[in-house]
Amino acid sequence: MTLVQDTNPSFVLRAVKEVAFENRPVPALKDPWDVRVRIAETGICGSDVHYWQRGRIGDFILESPIVLGHESSGVIEEVGSAVKNLKVGQKVAIEPGVPCRHCDYCRSGSYNLCPDTVFAATPPHDGTLSKYYITQSDYCYPLPDHMDLEEGAMVEPVAVAVQITKVGNVRPNQNVVVFGCGPIGLLCQAVSKAYAARKVIGIDISQSRLDFAKSFGADGVFLPPAKPEGVDESEWSAQIAKMIKEQFGLGEGPDVVIEATGAQACIQTGVHLTKKGGTYVQAGMGKENVVFPITTACIRDLTIRGSIRYTTGCYPTAVDLVASGKINVKRLITDWYDFEKAEDAFELVRQGQEKVIKTIMDNAYVLLAETIRQNAAAHPKSRYLVAVAGIPGSGKSTTAEAVVKILNEPSTHSSSSPARAALLPMDGFHLPRSTLDQLPNREEAYIRRGAPWTFDAAGFVEFMKQLRTWADRPVRKGADSSSSGSQSAQSPSSGSETDEDAAIYAPTFDHKTKDPVENGVCITEDVSIMIIEGNYLLLDEPVWKDVAPLVDYRVFVDVDLEVARDRLARRHVAAGIEKTLEDGFRRVDANDYLNGLTILERRIEPDMIVSSVQSI
C-alpha cells in the first residue's frame, strides 16, 4: 500500500489574513528549459508576511489565491529536454524571479526592473511553499556537496545583500554604516566585510540585535539615544549622525550608508551621516512617503540609490560567499518549523520578536532523505543502515516509507553514486500467537501485544548482527541493480543468507493472520541504503539496547504523546477494530500509550530528531 500520494501540498494565501493548505496538482513541465524542483527548505521573508496581513505591496495586489514563499532550496526532480546545466538529483538554490529576457532592462543585466518578471509569491504568481515548484533551469544554482539545503534557502537573502552592496559600490578600505540589524541588514554588514570594507558599523534600536551584529559582521555597533521631548526630529537626526561620526572616528562620514529599516528617523540620519560625494542606498521599505532631507542630500552631492531584488551575478556570488565560509548563514537561523506548521511560523515572524532573526520551514521527508543520501555517499562501507524509531502513532512508518520512496526516485540517483533503498519494519519479529498461548500471562500478552516483551528481541538482535555483517561486505560485481531492493521471497531460515552474501532474508508480519511470516522479505544485493523501522530500535533496555550500535544512523520521529494517542484511537475506529472513539481511547490507553511512555523514558539518544508530519 502506498502511503505517500503524489500530490502537491501547498501553503496558499486565499485572502488577506486567510491562509490554508491545499493539495494542488503536481505541476508539469511546459517549456524545454523548465525544471521541476522538490522543495526542501524555505525561509520566511517580510514581504510574505506583508502580503498575508495587507494583501498588497505597492502596485502588486492580491486579487486571487497564491502560494506563498520565495526563499527556497530543493532537489531537481525533472528536467526539460533542452536543459544541459542541471541533472536530476542535484541540490539547488532557487532564484525566485524569472524575467522576460528580451526587454532593455534584461539585456542590460538589470533584470530586476523587468516589468514582466514572474516572481514567486508576488501576485498573481504562485510561490515556492509547495512540495513541487516549476522554474527555468538557469534560475537554479547548484549547491556544492558541502553546502546543505538549509544554507541553500539562505542564498536568497544573501543575494539581496549582494545586490545592495553592489548598488552601493562597496569596495575595499571603505567605511560602511548599515541601519538595521534584521536579516538583510546583518547580511549587508557581513557582505561588506567579505568585500574587505575597512570599518562596518551596525545601527539598531535593539541591544540584543546589536550584540549579535557585533559577533556576526560588524566592527562596531550603535544604539541611538531616544529623542528628547520637544526636539525636532530632523534636528535630532542630524545630531545622531554627528554622534556616530565622532564615536567611530568616521571623519566627514562613511563612504556608503545602507538603510535597511525603512524608518523615517533612520533615513534622515543616514542622509546627514553620509560623507560628501558618498553613496546612500535605500534598501528598507516602510511608509510609502517620508520627510526626506533633500537639501542636505543635494548640498553633500550624494549618490542616492534604491535597491530591489538582484541583478546579474548576484546569485552565483551569494552561493560562493556561503560555500566559501565567508558568511555563516546558519548563525542567522533562530527558529525552525515543519511545513505543516507554516501558519505558526508566519505568525512568529509577524510578531517581530527581538530574538527571532530568521525562520526556516522544511519538508521533513526531503530533508531526512537528503541527509541519509549524503551520509551514505560518504560512508566507507558498501551499505548504510538507518534506524527509524518512534512511539506508536508517531508516523514513523509513514516517514520511513516516504524517505525510501524519495531515495528510490530517479531524482535521488546521481550518475556517480546511485542509491537503492529498502525498508524493513521490525513487525516480523512479533512473537507468534502459538508462543503467546504458552505464556503464563496469556491474556495480558494479547492485550499488550506490541509491548517490548511481546517481541522476539533476542532474535531481532541476532538478525541485526547478520544484517550488519552483510552490510559491511562489498557488493559483488554484476549485482542486478534493476531489482526492487526488498521483495517477497522464500529462504531456508529467517535472517539467513543465500548464495553467500547475495541477499538476506527477514520475517514479515501478516496483519490478517496476526502472525509473523518467516522469510517474508528478501533484501537484494543491490541495496545500498537499508532503513529499519520500529518502536524499540532506540530502547535502552536489556537486549534491545544492542540494536542501536549495529546501525550507522539513528533517527527518532518525535510527536506529542497526546497527538499520537488521538491518532491511534481514530485509527482503531477507522479500521473497524473499535466502534466508538471512546473505545478507541480505551484500547490505546491499555497498551500503545504505555509503550509510548516506556520509549520516551528509556530512549537512546538519536543522531537526528524529526518532527512527525501531520496529514494536510
Residue ranges and CATH numbers for the domains of the chain are 7-142+328-362 (3.90.180.10), 158-306 (3.40.50.720), 379-473+503-611 (3.40.50.300)
Residue 588 CA to residue 147 CA, distance in Å, equals 43
How far is the C-alpha of 398 from the C-alpha of 5, rounded, in Å? 11
The cell numbers describing 43, all together, are 525561509
pLDDT, one tens digit per residue, over 151-178 is 999 999 999 999 999 999 999 999 999 9
Asked whether 354 and 603 are in contact (CB, 8 A), the reply is no
State pLDDT tens for residues 97-144. Answer: 999 999 999 999 999 999 999 999 999 999 999 999 999 999 999 999
Contacts of 48-56 with CB under 8 Å at 24 or more apart are 48/121, 48/127, 48/346, 49/346, 49/349, 49/350, 51/13, 51/121, 51/123, 52/13, 52/16, 52/17, 52/19, 52/346, 52/350, 53/16, 53/17, 53/350, 54/16, 55/15, 55/16, 56/123
- pLDDT, position 462: 97
- What is the pLDDT, as a whole number, of residue 3? 36
CB-hemisphere CA count at 13 Å for 179? 31
- Rounded to 10 deg, the angle between the 183-194 and 155-167 helix axes is 60
Q: Is the pLDDT of residue 499 over 70?
A: no
Torsions phi, psi for 555 (to 5 deg): -120, 135
Q: Mean pLDDT over all residues of the chain?
A: 92
Average pLDDT over residues 548-562: 95
User: For residue 484, what pLDDT band results from cuts at 50, 70 and 90?
Assistant: very low
Q: Using CB atoms within 10 Å of the CB of residue 81, give its burial: 0 to 12 exposed, 13 to 18 middle, 19+ buried.
A: exposed
Asked if the peptide bond before residue 25 counts as cis, ω within 30 degrees of 0, the response is no
Distance between CA atoms of 180 and 186, rounded to whole angstroms?
7
Question: Do the strands 118-119 and 97-98 form a parallel or antiparallel pair, or are they unpaired?
Answer: antiparallel
When pLDDT is averaged across residues 550-563 and rounded to a whole number, the result is 95
The closest of 172, 182, 65, 178 to 126, measured between CA atoms, is 65
Report the chain's C-alpha Rg in angstroms.
Answer: 29
Indicate the pairing of strand 421-425 with strand 60-61. unpaired
Instruction: Tell me how many degrees the CA angle 329-196-316 measures, rounded to the nearest 5.
Output: 50
Q: Which amino acid is at 320?
A: D
Is the pLDDT confidence value at 483 over 50?
A: no
What average pLDDT score do residues 90-98 get?
97
Report the share of the chain in percent with pLDDT over 90: 82
pLDDT of residue 412: 40
Average pLDDT estimate for 500-524: 88
pLDDT of residue 422: 95
User: What pLDDT score does 614 carry?
Assistant: 59
Beta bridge mates, 603? 539
Q: Among 150-159, 334-343, 486-495, where is mean pLDDT lowest?
A: 486-495
C-alpha cell at 204: 539598531
pLDDT score at 611: 80
